């Protein structure tokens, strides 16, 4: 599919039922962690969250309807054990939306089952699902950045791991059902991680014996504050930038506490003072 599977779905719907205003769709396979959707960010999170929370209530072949504001109708159709199709928009009738969902499954069900984590995919959290996973620092740090908008390459840059390793981690998370993989829109460029240059005023840095942030994280104590500090070192942040980075990630801290953490990392041989 040269134009990308998302564009194929949009074209298929137009040919089948004509233009649907404010169309949003999500086709997901929970066994493969595959997702096809034209929603992004919060819209995608809400639509997929609705689909995943509704799916256990439906038997294969069942469907549910949700009427929202401004004439928006969302249909949730479960054609088999693993697949759920969510269609939202200003549909002429529920029956038309359900018919479209059935045809979408017939047309794209096999494609959906074969999608993995394609290069440049956009991982998003499978919110509403319960999963069991090992508390591994790098995996959890990467998972904390999954937002349905950042590519695997961008996640690798944020966490400080090689792109190949980031794909391995996303594949592991996809296999246990923690994330879904959304194919990128065609024509979107992908950012490649670069080795950061320490910012002005940066006093600390990762010990150069580490080839990656991931390697340093593997030796760190089990603390999200410490993991975020190590990530900040990998990005070359100075102390003030690191405090802002940690607090914006949802961890309350102070400049003094972060400095204590950095000194601890120096004693552990994970960080060192520059100069």
Residues 175 and 248 reside in one and the same domain: no
Q: What's the average model confidence in pLDDT over 28-50?
A: 80
Query: What is the tens place of the pLDDT at every residue in 71-90?
Result: 899 999 999 988 999 999 99
Q: Using alpha carbons, select from 32, 31, 70, 72 the residue that is nearest to residue 50.
A: 72
| Percent with pLDDT over 90 in the chain | 19
Examine the fold and report which residue of 72, 88, 114 is the final residue of a domain before the chain moves on. 114
| Separation between Cα atoms, residue 26 and residue 84, nearest integer Å | 8
Q: Are residues 146 and 240 in the same domain?
A: no
Helices 163-175, 137-145: crossing angle, 10 deg rounding: 90
Q: Which of 114, 130, 164 is the last residue of a domain?
A: 114
Domain identity same for 108 and 128: no
So what's the pLDDT on residue 75?
A: 94
Residues 178 and 220 in one domain: no
- Predicted local distance difference test score (pLDDT) of residue 193: 39
Q: Estimate the crossing angle of helix 255-267 against helix 224-234, to 10 degrees.
A: 80
Model confidence at 207: pLDDT above 80? yes
Q: Tell me what the mean pLDDT of segment 25-52 comes to.
A: 82
Mean pLDDT score, 30-45: 78
Q: Is residue 98 part of a domain?
A: yes
Boundary (domain end) residue, out of 66, 91, 114: 114
Query: For 220-243, what is the mean pLDDT?
Result: 85
**Does residue 109 have a pLDDT over 60?**
yes
The pTM of the full predicted model, rounded to 2 decimals, is 0.54
How many CB atoms sit inside 10 A of residue 145's CB? 16
Q: Which residue has the higher pLDDT, 1 or 43?
A: 43
pLDDT in tens, 139-178: 888 888 887 777 888 888 888 888 888 888 888 887 777 7
In this prediction, residue 73 carries a pLDDT of 93
Model pLDDT, residue 122: 75
Residue 199 lies in a domain: no
CA pair distance 53, 128, nearest whole angstrom? 6
Q: What is the CATH number of the domain that holds 69?
A: 3.30.450.30
What was the pLDDT predicted at 110?
A: 80
Residue 120 — pLDDT band, cuts 50, 70, 90? low
Query: Is 194 contained in some domain?
Result: no
Per-residue confidence (pLDDT) for residue 127, from 0 to 100: 65
Answer positive or negative: Cα dihedral of 180, 182, 183, 188.
negative
Q: Are 106 and 155 within one domain?
A: no
Number of domains in the chain: 3
In degrees rounded to 5, what are phi and psi of residue 172? -60, -45
Residue 42 lies in a domain: yes
Residue 161 located in a structural domain: yes
Q: Is 188 contained in some domain? A: no
Mapping DSSP onto H, E and C, the string for the chain reads CCCCHHHHHHHHHHHHHCCCEEEEEEEEECCCCEEEECCCHHHHHHHHHHHHHHHHHCCCCCEEEEECHHHCEEEEECCCCCEEEEEEEECCCHHHHHHHHHHHHHHHHHHHHHCCCCCCCEEEECCCCCCCCCCCHHHHHHHHHCCCCCCHHHHHHHHCCCHHHHHHHHHHHHHCCCEEEECCCCCCCCCCCCCCCCCCCCCEEECCCCCCHHHHHCCCCCCHHHHHHHHHHHCCCCHHHHHHHHHHCCCCCCHHHHHHHHHHHHHCCCEEECC
Alpha carbons 73 and 179: distance in angstroms, whole number: 26
pLDDT at 23: 93
What integer pLDDT is reported at residue 195 of this predicted model? 45
Looking at every residue in the chain, the average pLDDT score rounds to 80
For residues 240, 245, 246, 250, the Cα torsion angle rounded to the nearest 10 degrees is 140
Give the side-chain half-sphere CA count within 13 A for 60. 6
Res 4 pLDDT > 90 = no
Q: Where is pLDDT greater, at 193 or 51?
A: 51
Task: Supply the CATH number for residue 154's domain.
Answer: 1.10.10
Same domain, yes or no, for 65 and 153?
Answer: no
Q: Do 27 and 103 share a structural domain?
A: yes
State the pLDDT confidence band at 101, using cuts at 50, 70 and 90.
very high
pLDDT of residue 190: 37
Read off the pLDDT band of 226 (50, 70, 90).
Answer: confident
195: in domain: no
pLDDT per residue over 245-264, tens digit each? 888 877 888 999 999 999 99
| Pair (24, 91) in one structural domain | yes
Alpha carbon 240 to chain centroid, angstroms:
28
Q: Which residues form the domain of 176?
A: 122-182
């Amino acid at each position: 599919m040269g134009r990308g599977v998302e564009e194929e779905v949009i074209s298929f719907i137009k040919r089948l039922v004509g233009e649907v205003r404010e169309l949003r769709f999500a086709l997901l396979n929970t066994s493969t962690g595959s997702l096809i959707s034209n929603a992004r960010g919060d819209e995608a999170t809400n639509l997929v969250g609705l689909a995943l929370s509704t799916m256990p209530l439906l038997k294969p072949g069942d469907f549910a309807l949700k009427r929202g504001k401004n004439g928006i109708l969302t249909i949730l159709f479960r054609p088999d054990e693993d697949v759920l199709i969510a269609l939202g928009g200003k549909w002429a009738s529920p029956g038309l939306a359900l018919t479209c969902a059935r045809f979408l499954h017939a047309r794209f069900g096999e494609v959906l089952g074969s999608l993995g984590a394609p290069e440049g995919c956009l991982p998003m959290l499978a919110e509403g699902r319960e999963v069991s996973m090992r508390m591994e620092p790098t995996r959890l740090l990467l998972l904390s950045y999954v937002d349905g908008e950042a590519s695997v390459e961008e996640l690798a840059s944020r966490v400080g791991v090689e792109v190949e390793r980031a794909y391995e981690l996303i594949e592991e998370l996809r296999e246990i059902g923690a994330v879904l993989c959304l194919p990128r829109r065609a024509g979107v460029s992908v950012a490649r991680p670069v080795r950061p240059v320490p910012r002005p005023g940066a006093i600390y840095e990762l010990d150069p014996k580490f080839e990656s942030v991931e390697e340093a994280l593997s030796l760190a104590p089990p603390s999200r504050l410490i993991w975020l500090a190590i990530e900040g070192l990998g990005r070359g942040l100075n102390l003030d930038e690191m405090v802002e980075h940690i607090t914006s990630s949802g961890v309350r801290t102070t400049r003094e506490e972060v400095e204590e953490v950095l000194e601890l990392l120096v004693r552990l041989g994970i960080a060192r003072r520059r100069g």
